[in-house]
């Protein structure tokens, strides 16, 4: 019964591993470039969840100094991991937008998003 309670308290880490595995599988095994991009986004999301879960501190307060709580830093949540993940999300969305634009250009040029077909078409002289 103790193992079950331990695993239920760590469900976020199991989800992180599952999402990382799904994202890595998509990036390594799929031939469609759009599916590879979706795998990359899934992998990034797993990393975001991992960092946010690591920043969770039970029985702590927001980082606004309160006279009732005191001045001890141990009583407050560190906002830095949340800010870093917010920045990572913005960078990830920007990367996704640029990658989607590249995929549109690739599809217009080669009429496919299959990576092996594109490599074959790139080797052929125009």
Query: What is the mean pLDDT, run by run of 10 residues, along the chain of 126 residues?
Result: 59 92 97 97 96 80 73 77 93 97 96 93 81
What is the pLDDT at residue 66? 72
Report d(CA 85, CA 98) in Å as an integer.
Answer: 20
Q: How far apart are CA 74 and CA 60, in angstroms?
A: 8
pLDDT, residue 6, reads 57
pLDDT, residue 5, reads: 57
DSSP state of 42: H
Question: Total structural domains in the chain?
Answer: 1
Q: What is the pTM of this model?
A: 0.81
CATH of residue 82's domain is 1.10.287.3510
Q: What CA–CA distances, in Å, run from 94 to 44, 88, 89, 90, 101?
A: 13, 10, 9, 6, 11
Q: Which range marks the domain in which residue 72 is found?
A: 2-123
Beta bridge partner(s), residue 114: 32
pLDDT at 78: 81
């Amino acid at each position: 019964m103790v193992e079950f309670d331990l695993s239920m308290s760590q469900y976020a880490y199991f989800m992180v591993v599952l999402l990382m595995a799904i994202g890595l599988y998509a990036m390594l095994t799929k031939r469609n470039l759009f599916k590879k991009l979706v795998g990359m986004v899934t992998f990034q999301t797993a990393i975001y969840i991992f960092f946010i879960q690591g920043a969770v501190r039970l029985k702590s307060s927001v980082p606004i100094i309160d006279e009732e709580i005191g001045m001890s830093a141990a009583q407050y949540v560190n906002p830095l991991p949340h800010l870093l993940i917010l920045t990572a999300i913005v960078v990830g969305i920007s990367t996704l937008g640029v990658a989607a634009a590249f995929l549109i250009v690739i599809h217009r040029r080669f009429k496919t998003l299959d990576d092996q077909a594109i490599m074959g078409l790139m080797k052929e002289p125009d």
